[in-house]
Amino acid sequence: MAHAHTVKRHTGIMDWLTTVDHKKIGILYMLAGGIFFLVGGLEAILIRLQLMYPQSEVVSAQTYNELITMHGTTMIFLAAMPMLFGFMNAVIPLQIGARDVAYPFVNALGFWTFFFGGLLLNISFFVGTVPDAGWTMYAPLSGTTHTEHFGTDYYVIGLQIAGIGTLIGGINFLVTIINMRAPGMTFMRMPMFTWATFITSALILFAFPALTVGLAALMFDRLFNGNFFDPSAGGNVVLWEHIFWIFGHPEVYILILPAFGIISEVVSTFSRKRLFGYSSMVFATILIGFLGFMVWAHHMFTTGLGPIANALFSVATMLIAVPTGIKIFNWLFTLWGGSIKFTVANLFAIGFIPTFVMGGVTGVMLSVAPADYQYHDSYFVVAHFHYVIVGGLIMGIFAGLHYWWPKMFGRMLSEKLGLWTFWTFYIGFHLTFFVQHFLGLLGMPRRIWQYLDGMGLNELNFISTIGALLMGVGTILLVINIIITNSKPKTASNDPWEDGRTLEWTIPSPAPEYNFAQTPLVRAYDAWWEEKMEGNTKMTPVEPIGPIHMPSPSILPFFMGLGLFIAGFGFMYAREFGTVSLVIGIAGLAITFICMGLRSWIDDHGFHIEEEEILKDQGVKA
Amino acid sequence: MAAANGHNSAGRSDVKTSRPEGSKKHVIAFVFSILLTFISFALVMAGEINTDFVYIMLVVLAIIQVFVQMAFWMHMKDKGHGFAIIGILTGVIVVFTCVIMALFWTTW
Amino acid sequence: MSSHSHVEGQLPHEPERATLEGRNKITGFWLFLGGETVLFGTLFAAYLTLRGQIMDGPTPDHLFSFLLVAIATALLLTSSLTSVFALQSMHRHDVKALLGWLIVTVILGAAFLGLEIYEFNHYVHEGHKFSTSAFSTSFYTLVGFHGAHVAFGLLWAILIMLQLKNRGLNTTTAPKVYLFGMYWHFIDVVWVFIFTVVYLMGRVG
User: Would C1 be classed as within a structural domain?
Assistant: no
Instruction: Note whether residue A322 is domain-resident.
Output: yes
Q: Check CB contact under 8 Å for A246 and B90.
A: no
How many Cα atoms sit within 13 Å of A327 on the Cβ side? Answer: 32
Q: What is the CATH number of the domain that holds A480?
A: 1.20.210.10
C48, C66, C89 ranked by CB distance to B41: nearest: C66
Residues 6+ apart with CB under 8 A from A370: none
Least confident of A22-31, A191-200, B54-63: B54-63
Contacting residues of B for C80, CB less than 8 Å apart: 30, 69, 73
In a domain, A64, yes or no: yes
Residues B107 and B68 in one domain: no
Instruction: Give CA–CA dist C37/C145, Å, rounded.
Output: 13
Angle at C113 between CA C109 and CA C115, to 5 degrees: 115
Distance (Å) from the alpha carbon of A284 to chain C's nearest alpha carbon = 22
Report pLDDT digits (tens) over A270-284: 999 999 999 999 999
What is each CA distance from A113 to A553, A559, A594, in whole angstroms? 17, 10, 16
Contact between chains at C134 and A171 (C-beta distance less than 8 A): no
Amino acid making up residue A227: N
Average pLDDT of span B68-85: 77
Query: Which pLDDT does position B4 carry in this prediction?
Result: 37
CA distance B98 to A609: 49
- Please report the residues numbered 32 through 91 in chain B whose beta carbons come closer than 8 angstroms to any beta carbon of chain A: 83, 87, 90-91
Question: Do residues C159 and A600 make contact, with C-beta atoms less than 8 angstroms apart?
Answer: yes
Taking contacts as CB-CB distances below 8 angstroms, the residues of chain A near C20 are 179-180
Q: What is the pLDDT of residue A9?
A: 75
Q: Identify whether the C-beta of residue A343 lies closer than 8 Å to the C-beta of residue A497.
A: yes
Q: How far is B35 from chain A (nearest CA, A)?
A: 33
* Residue A159 neighbours by CB distance under 10 Å: 26
Which SS3 state, helix, strand or coil, does residue A487 take?
coil
- % of chain A at pLDDT higher than 70: 98
- On the CB side of A224, how many CA atoms lie within 13 Å of its CA? 20
**Residue C111 near residue C48, CB atoms below 8 Å:** no
Residue A245 belongs to some domain of the structure: yes
Q: Note whether residue A549 is domain-resident.
A: no
**Dist. CA C38–CA A242, nearest whole Å:** 14
> Is C48 in contact with B99 (Cβ distance < 8 A)?
yes
Digit-coded pLDDT (tens) for A553-605? 999 999 999 999 999 999 999 888 989 999 999 999 999 999 999 999 998 88
Q: How many CB atoms lie within 10 A of CB C47?
A: 22
Q: How far apart are CA A38 and CA A437, in angstroms?
A: 25
Q: Residue C197: which CATH number?
A: 1.20.120.80
Query: Packing angle between helix A344-367 and helix A415-441, nearest 10 degrees?
Result: 10
**How far C25 CA sits from the closest chain A CA (Å)?**
8
- Nearest CA-CA distance, residue C16 and chain A, Å: 15
pLDDT at site B88: 86
- A622 pLDDT higher than 50: no
The answer to whether residue C9 sits within a structural domain is no
Residue B32 lies in a domain: yes
Domain membership of residue B8 (yes or no) is no
pLDDT at residue A501 is higher than 80 = yes
Distances (CA, A) of C8 to B10, C4, C5: 22, 11, 10
Phi, psi of A548 (to 5 degrees): -110, 130
Residues of B in Cβ contact (< 8 Å) with A1? 1
Please name the residue ranges forming H helices in A128-231. 151-179, 192-224
Same domain, B57 and B91: no
What's the CA gap between A164 and A117, in Å, rounded? 9
- The pLDDT value recorded for residue A575 is 84
- Among chain C, residues having any CB pair with chain A shorter than 8 Å are 1-5, 20, 23-24, 27-28, 31-32, 34-36, 38-39, 42-43, 45-46, 49-50, 52-55, 130-138, 141, 159-160, 163, 172, 176
Which domain covers residue C107, as residue numbers?
15-202
pLDDT (mean) for A184-203: 97
pLDDT at A229 > cutoff 50 = yes
Examine the domain organization and report whether B72 and B86 are in the same domain: no
Domain for residue C5, yes or no?
A: no
Mean pLDDT by 10 residues, chain C (205 residues): 50 89 94 95 94 92 94 96 94 94 97 97 95 96 97 96 94 95 96 95 84
| Distance (Å, whole) CA A119 – CA A36 | 10
Which residues does chain C have within 8 Å of residue A549's beta carbon, measured at their own beta carbons? Answer: 1-4
- The whole-chain average pLDDT of chain A stands at 95
Q: Reply yes or no on whether the pLDDT at B3 is more than 50.
A: no
Dist CA A599 CA A594 (whole Å) = 9
As a 3-state breakdown, chain C gives helix, strand, coil percent values, each rounded to 5, of 80, 0, 20
Query: A239 and C35 in contact by Cβ < 8 A?
Result: no
Whether residue A40 lies inside any domain: the answer is yes
Instruction: Please tell me whether the peptide bond between A131 and the residue prior to it is cis, using omega within 30 degrees of 0.
Output: no
Mean pLDDT of A250-258: 97
Tell me, yes or no, whether B17 lies in a domain: no
Report if residue A443 sits inside a domain. yes
User: Is residue C6 domain-resident?
Assistant: no
Q: Is residue B42 part of a domain?
A: yes
The better pLDDT of the pair A615, A39 is held by A39
Whether C175 contacts C77, CB under 8 Å: no
- Is B95 within a domain? yes
| Together in a domain, B84 and B71 | no
Distance from CA of B49 to the nearest CA of A (A): 29
The total number of structural domains in chain C stands at 1
Q: Report DSSP letters for C130-148, one per residue.
A: TTT-HHHHHHHHHHHHHHH
Q: Which chain C residues are closer than 8 Å to A206 by Cβ? A: 34-35, 38
**Are A213 and C53 in contact (CB < 8 Å)?**
no
C44 touching B (Cβ < 8 Å) = yes
DSSP string, A139-166: TTTTSTTT--STHHHHHHHHHHHHHHHH
* Confidence class for position B80, pLDDT limits 50, 70, 90: confident
Residues of C in contact with B21 (CB under 8 A): 85, 88-89
Domain membership flag for residue A16: yes
pLDDT at site A620: 53
For residue A357, CA distances in Å to A260, A350, A352, A367, A388 come to 12, 12, 8, 15, 8
Stated as kind and residue range, the H or E segment containing A188 is none
Are B68 and B29 members of one domain?
yes
Residue A619 has pLDDT above 80, yes or no: no
Chain A / chain B CB contacts < 8 angstroms: 43
CA–CA gap between residue C203 and residue B42 (Å, rounded): 12
Does A3 fall in a domain? Answer: no
Pure H helices in chain B: 24-46, 51-68, 82-107
Asked whether residue B4 is assigned to any structural domain, the reply reads no
> In terms of Cα–Cα distance, which of A108, A125, A122 is closest to A77?
A122
- Alpha-carbon separation of residue A452 from A12, A66, A374, A457, C191 (angstroms): 55, 21, 20, 8, 57
Number of domains in chain B: 2
* Residue A11 CB burial class (10 angstroms; 0-12, 13-18, ≥19): exposed
Cβ distance C203 to B26 less than 8 Å, yes or no, reads no
ipTM, two decimals, is 0.94
Mean pLDDT in residue range A215-241: 95
Q: Does A447 touch chain B (CB under 8 A)?
A: no
How far is it, in rounded angstroms, from Cα C16 to Cα C4?
13
Short-list A494, A190, A258, CA closest to A399? A258
Q: How far is A1 from chain B (nearest CA, A)?
A: 8
Structural domains of chain A, count: 1
CB contact under 8 A, C81 and B26: yes
Range of the domain at A18: 12-534+556-620
Mean pLDDT of the region A301-322: 94
Total length of chain C: 205
What's the first-to-final CA gap in chain C, in angstroms? 58
Q: How many angstroms away from the CA of B92 is the closest CA of chain A?
A: 10
Residue A300 has pLDDT above 80, yes or no: yes
User: Rounded to an integer, what distance in angstroms lies between the CA atom of residue A579 and that of residue B76?
Assistant: 46
Query: What residue in A sits closest to B87 (Cα-Cα)?
Result: A202
Residue B55, domain extent: 22-77
Indicate whether B53 belongs to any domain: yes
> Mutating which of C5, C37, C73, C138 best tests the B interface, going by the most B Cβ atoms within 10 A?
C37
**Spatial distance between the Cα atoms of A234 and A362, rounded to a whole number of angstroms:** 38
Q: In this model, does residue A75 exceed pLDDT 70? A: yes
What number of C-beta contacts closer than 8 Å exist between A and C?
A: 131
Q: E-strand spans in chain C?
A: none
